[in-house]
Amino acid sequence: MTQYPPNFGCSEAKTPLRIAVVYSRVPVPMRRADQMTVAHLLEFLHERKHVVDLYTLETGAEMSPDDRAWVSARTRRLFLYPRRRVRAALALLSGVSRGLPLQVALFNSRTMRRDLKREILANQYDLVYVYYFRSAEVVRGLGRDLPSGSPGSSTATYIALQLSQTLNTRRISENAPNLAYRALYALESRLVARYETMIWREFTHSILIGKSDLATINEVAHDLGRPPVTNSFFSAHGTDIARFKPSLEPTIPHSIVFSGVMRTPTNVQAVQWFVREVFPLVREQIPDATFTIVGREPSTEVRALEAEPGVEVTGTVPDPAGYIARAEVCVNPMQAGGGMQNKLIEFLASGKPTVATSVANEGISAPDSAIAIADEPQAFAEQVVQLLSDTDQATQLGQAARKFVEDHWTWEAHFLDLERKLIERTLDPRDVGC
């Protein structure tokens, strides 16, 4: 059964905005972290009575009638563009010939850009909000294409870069399991570096999750002789603390859990590293320790890990929250990636003692009182063993983790902050009513 974002119970905004949301795939069903974020954003904007049009691609994960009804109820208009293989291949070839990153080329849509430009000229929007740089070409330079003084020429454009893809693709390349992957992501990393350090200039404002992502982009820009980002602000997102919460049901003794979409390269690399480098060290101390990898679409490499003693790969499950609730310890051994890790916030919100790498915690900045951080196999294993062995310490860490999420990582808190920044940066100060 499809899960949808919960009702936030928000009151109507004093200053409603007219917003075009541009996104690279349908937001429901929520199968990936970015889909989850956009779906929750649509729910929030709907409850706050903002007028929203959604421009998005149908890339294979088609919406069911219920999904379409949910989106339609939260938007004024849904502009949905089917993305078949031939059209995607042509877009990829066209983009590559222009030096675009592969992921940007793949999700570009000239038809979407044409329709969006038409609506901007009709003065339909206060702002255009592009989620992820994959959709940047749809909006890139639209302001220059509009006649000066024409209706819509003052429409603000926002690019939600979120994480630094330069940092993300570089780490994936460095930790790639084979030469082909390493070569592919090394190429993409170079293309992304050139693109990411200039695309922000095509928008009124750019949005990042945290300082490390901004610092990476600016370091690369310096190396390329380009100016640093000057139009950015920070805005993260949250988690559903009603769904991910401490449970009264008993945990499974000596159980360790990781969850995520298990065909995503960063997740594949994470569990491979844990199973090969860390888990054997844990089982030397706790022979009956188990490691459960929870998540849909496990790759062949992930499935192969079940051959190791104590490792289980579940594949798709109705709700990973139940597996997290029954775990004694959760782990996020990310070696690559950037921005914030939804899975890590879900572990913390569930009140679970959690061991993570510095990379995993980079965009969240959970304090030592709420999370155990380790980057080397021996240190990571020691932290896991300690939490599996010391109930009091594990309980204290889990309680502090839940408190940290309640204080800093609810959807409402981050979206209200984003809304305030959008209003302040889009409207004349005299028009701001909140």
- Could you read off the pLDDT of 38-51 as tens digits, one per residue? 999 999 999 999 99
Asked whether residue 57 falls in the same domain as residue 200, the answer is yes
**CB neighbours of 165 closer than 8 A, spacing ≥ 6?**
101, 103, 133, 192, 196, 338
pLDDT(149) > 80: no
Tens of pLDDT along 296-323? 999 999 999 999 999 999 998 988 999 9
pLDDT(160) > 60: yes
Q: Give the pLDDT of residue 173.
A: 80
pLDDT(172) > 90: no
Q: Give the pLDDT of residue 433.
A: 38
Asked whether residue 170 falls in the same domain as residue 123, the answer is yes
Asked whether residue 230 falls in the same domain as residue 344, the answer is no
- DSSP for 92-136 reads HHHHHHTT--HHHHHT--HHHHHHHHHHHHTT--SEEEEESGGGH
Comparing 80-89, 116-125, 269-278, 295-304, the range with the smallest average pLDDT is: 80-89
φ/ψ bin of 421: left (φ > 0), alpha (ψ from -120 to 50), beta (otherwise): alpha
CA atoms in the 13 A half-sphere facing the CB of 92 = 11
Q: Give the pLDDT of residue 338.
A: 60
Asked whether residue 111 falls in the same domain as residue 35, the answer is yes
Question: Which uninterrupted H or E stretch holds 377?
Answer: helix 377-389
Asked whether residue 379 falls in the same domain as residue 267, the answer is yes
Q: Give the pLDDT of residue 147.
A: 66
| Structural domain contains residue 234 | yes
Domain CATH for 423: 3.40.50.2000
Q: Give the pLDDT of residue 183.
A: 86
Confidence of residue 209 (pLDDT cuts 50, 70, 90): confident
Distance CA 140, CA 201 (A): 9
Residue pair 178/172 in contact (Cβ under 8 Å)? The answer is no
Number of domains, the chain: 2
Tens of pLDDT along 316-372? 898 899 999 999 999 999 987 665 678 999 999 999 999 999 999 988 889 999 999
Distance CA 353, CA 373 (A): 11
Average pLDDT over all residues of the chain: 91
Strand ranges (DSSP E) for 354-433? Answer: 354-356, 372-373
Asked whether residue 157 falls in the same domain as residue 212, the answer is yes
Q: Could you tell me the residue range of the domain that residue 28 belongs to?
A: 18-238+411-431
Q: Give the pLDDT of residue 434.
A: 35
Per cent of the chain over pLDDT 70 is 95
pLDDT(62) > 80: no
| Structural domain contains residue 349 | yes
Asked whether residue 232 falls in the same domain as residue 269, the answer is no
| Structural domain contains residue 9 | no
Tokens linked to 160: 């939600």
Q: How many other C-beta atoms are found inside a 10 Å radius of the C-beta of residue 92?
A: 18
Alpha helix (H) residue ranges in 226-376: 265-273, 279-285, 300-304, 320-326, 342-349, 358-361
